Amino acid sequence: MRAFAQVLIFVGASGCFSPAGTSSATTEGGPGSASETEGMNSTSPTSTSTSTSTSTSTSTTGEPTTGPAATVTATSLPTDATTAVMTDPSEGTTDATGMTGEPVCGDGVTLAPEECDDGNLNDGDDCLNSCMFASCGDGVIHEGVEQCDDGNLSEGDGCDALCGQEEPPLTPRYVFVTSKKYTAAKVGSLDHADMECEALAGAVGASPSLAGRNFKAWLSDTDETAQQRIGDWLGAYVLPDESLVVIGSAGLAAGVLMNPIGVDEHGTSLPTEMESCESSSEGVWTGTTALGLTAETCGDWTADAGLGLIGSFAAKDSTWTECASRQCALPFRLYCIEVE
């Protein structure tokens, strides 16, 4: 279909032409009289009209009587309707016929409600196949940007809130207090104390959760502190009954326990009500201060003479490791801490 532009030009004569000249007389009469001639000779304005068309034509209307007739000229201007396209991002695409097209995702043209349109079907680039911008939590891994995308922004499910891969959760490590008691000389050395811990953890009647794990005694001597012996750990420490003690080895040293280390290798809870550190006959050999430093160690756990530092298995503060000094000949328990 082609639209037409037509230009109509009307040219009126400024006056009538007469071969005999212009008459100034005015006479009443019938047809052809001076009065009729006077009407023909009066001045009229020029009228012009313009419209569009796809063809050109010229026509002359009226019969000349005494002068030139008005001329009407039609001029065509070619117009191709297919080139008249109006684009409104909020309304789609409108052509000259008034039809409105819907946005097509993947055509390379971004129209609302599209956020983007890169003209491809690669769902891992900046623009998804839904023509939305890629973002963490959309369930599609953004290549070169995201390590994972599980469709949510939750932490602790393997993919964090920034779409980075999370490490598997750390398996808790176990701690317990021994059911047996030892004089300092019976402790013998740090290595001997470690062997006691592992033997009790693997003994008949011990909690199954302790089997096959490595343990060291929470003891210091002049060469090595208890903190150094167990190493750094960011995960949880739990009791044989799975009760949480603390998060991380730094928490042990800081003395901020959730539960006291008052459960032995059998899973038996010891009395949590104890006498004060100054007078209690119960306790645990540690030789380790609340700052993780070495204190009295009974000759590095080889003699029943002198003094050694004990902790309280009923405590949740720093007195769990630094409670009071006691005679090395008195029997006390050991703390056993799981290590790698």
CATH code of the region 173-339: 3.10.100.10
* Cα–Cα distance, 187 to 332 (Å, whole number): 10
The alpha-helical segments, DSSP class H, found in 180-239 are: 184-187, 190-201, 226-230
- Among left, alpha and beta (phi > 0; psi -120 to 50; other), residue 300 is left
- Residue pair 317/261 in contact (Cβ under 8 Å)? The answer is no
Cα atoms in the 13 Å half-sphere on the side-chain side of 161: 3
Strand partners, 49: 8
Encoded amino acid at 158, one letter? G
DSSP label at residue 133: B
Q: Residue 100: its pLDDT value, please? A: 55
Give pLDDT, residue 85: 43
pLDDT confidence of residue 336:
98
What integer pLDDT is reported at residue 123 of this predicted model? 87
306, two tokens? 């002198």
Return the domain boundaries, the chain: 2-79, 173-339
CA 110 to mean position of chain CA atoms: 24
The stretches in the chain having pLDDT less than 50 are 1-87, 89-99
Of 176, 177, 160, 178, the C-alpha closest to 168 is 160
pLDDT at 155: 82
